[in-house]
């Protein structure tokens, strides 16, 4: 029998997980990219070369400067440093992600748990509702909602959250529908455990891996669709340094001043790629761990 302490065991489990994760280079790169984005966004005022260029700053002498050592991403039509604005733009993108997924995931997961566990009419009502939401393309719906309300960042976040939950409901529903026949669930029932206990203590922990993989993959998508809304003028309004807005305003000066929208565009791509690589890596990792 092993004589190690629980703490050491835990530590070992983490090290083992990291060992497996490390063997997937794409996932490691993804993790590094995501971490980079987070660090840069959190420490934006310290990292950005020209933090003052973020708001309504104008310097017409320096407008449309091509990429150079001082302005690696060039400057925009108001002479603002694009790199600095991209860095602050990440803050908005990540706020969007946290807000949208922070609302949609718990709500979607809860409904999925209920539908999967109880079945019957609970299932019918919840799942038909998700069908309705799934039938409408997300972007179209978001457009409609933000257009109906006023085009602000907050409203676009609300619209996205309204659209996002049903994916998680579907996912958790199918997961729980198969998990609920596991013997440990029956064992808990035999012991007399309440539904609350079974839902949140037995089933939910076993959904964590699928939820985290899905949420990570989603993060990239939320950024993309959020940027799409801003691009169409339905999200954050200028001069807020939103990546989508920057792509769209830079697009007015294509192709001569290409850097104005290319760099914010690449910045969006970078986060999406990072989240997707990380999500795929997590999936491999967690799949193995459950077995």
Per rule CB under 8 A, is residue 286 in the interface with another protein?
A: no
> What six digits make up the tokens of 138?
């997300």
Q: Please answer whether residues 263 and 73 qualify as being in contact, where contact means their C-beta atoms are separated by less than 8 angstroms.
A: yes
Virtual CA dihedral for 109, 111, 116, 119, nearest 10 degrees? 180
Q: Which is nearer to another protein, 43 or 184 (CB)?
A: 184
Q: Which of 70, 184, 200, 254 binds another protein (CB under 8 A)?
A: 184
Residues 139 and 154: their CA atoms lie apart, in Å, by 16
* Residue located via tokens 């609920």: 180
* Residue located via tokens 């001082």: 70
> What six digits make up the tokens of 52?
């003052």
> What six digits make up the tokens of 95?
């706020």
Per rule CB under 8 A, is residue 121 in the interface with another protein?
A: no
Q: Which is nearer to another protein, 17 or 103 (CB)?
A: 17
Q: Which of 76, 81, 202, 242 binds another protein (CB under 8 A)?
A: 202
From 35-43, 195-203, 211-219, 266-274, give the range in contact with another protein by CB under 8 A. 195-203
From 53-61, 108-116, 193-201, 247-255, give the range in contact with another protein by CB under 8 A. 193-201
Quick note: the x/- pattern for another protein over 86-105, rule CB under 8 A, is --------------------
Q: Which is nearer to another protein, 7 or 61 (CB)?
A: 7
Q: Which is nearer to another protein, 183 or 256 (CB)?
A: 183
Q: Please answer whether residues 97 and 219 qualify as being in contact, where contact means their C-beta atoms are separated by less than 8 angstroms.
A: yes
Report cis status (omega within 30 of 0) of the bond before 255.
yes
Per rule CB under 8 A, is residue 183 in the interface with another protein?
A: yes
> What six digits make up the tokens of 42?
């959190």
Per rule CB under 8 A, is residue 288 in the interface with another protein?
A: no
Residues 6+ apart with CB under 8 A from 152: 235, 236, 237
Per rule CB under 8 A, is residue 189 in the interface with another protein?
A: yes
Catalog residues that contact another protein under the rule CB under 8 A: 1-3, 5-6, 9, 13, 16, 19-20, 182-184, 186-194, 197, 201-202, 205-206, 208, 289-290
């Amino acid at each position: 029998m092993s004589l190690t302490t629980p703490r050491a065991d835990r530590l070992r489990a983490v090290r083992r997980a990291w060992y497996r994760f490390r063997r997937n280079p794409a996932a490691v790169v993804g993790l590094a990219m995501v971490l980079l984005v987070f660090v840069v966004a959190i420490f934006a005022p310290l990292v950005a070369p020209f933090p003052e260029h973020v708001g309504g700053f104008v310097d017409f002498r320096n407008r449309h400067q091509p990429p150079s050592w001082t302005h690696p991403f060039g400057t925009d039509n108001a002479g603002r440093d694009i790199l600095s604005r991209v860095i602050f733009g990440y803050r908005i993108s990540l706020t969007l992600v946290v807000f949208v997924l922070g609302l949609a995931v718990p709500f979607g997961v809860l409904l999925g748990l209920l539908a999967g566990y109880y079945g019957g009419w609970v299932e019918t009502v919840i799942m038909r509702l998700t069908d309705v939401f799934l039938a409408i393309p997300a972007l179209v719906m978001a457009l409609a909602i933000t257009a109906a309300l006023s085009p602000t960042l907050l409203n676009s976040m609300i619209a996205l959250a309204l659209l996002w939950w049903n994916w998680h409901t579907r996912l958790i529903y199918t997961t729980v529908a198969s998990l609920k026949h596991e013997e440990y669930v029956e064992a808990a029932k035999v012991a007399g455990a309440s539904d609350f206990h079974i839902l949140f203590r037995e089933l939910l922990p076993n959904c964590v891996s699928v939820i985290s993989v899905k949420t990570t993959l989603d993060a990239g998508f939320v950024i993309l669709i959020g940027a799409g809304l801003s691009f169409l003028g339905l999200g954050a309004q200028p001069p807020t340094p939103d990546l989508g807005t920057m792509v769209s305003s830079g697009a007015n000066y294509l192709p001569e001043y290409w850097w104005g929208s290319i760099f914010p565009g690449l910045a969006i791509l970078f986060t999406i790629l990072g989240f997707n690589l990380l999500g795929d890596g997590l999936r491999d990792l967690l799949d193995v761990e459950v077995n």
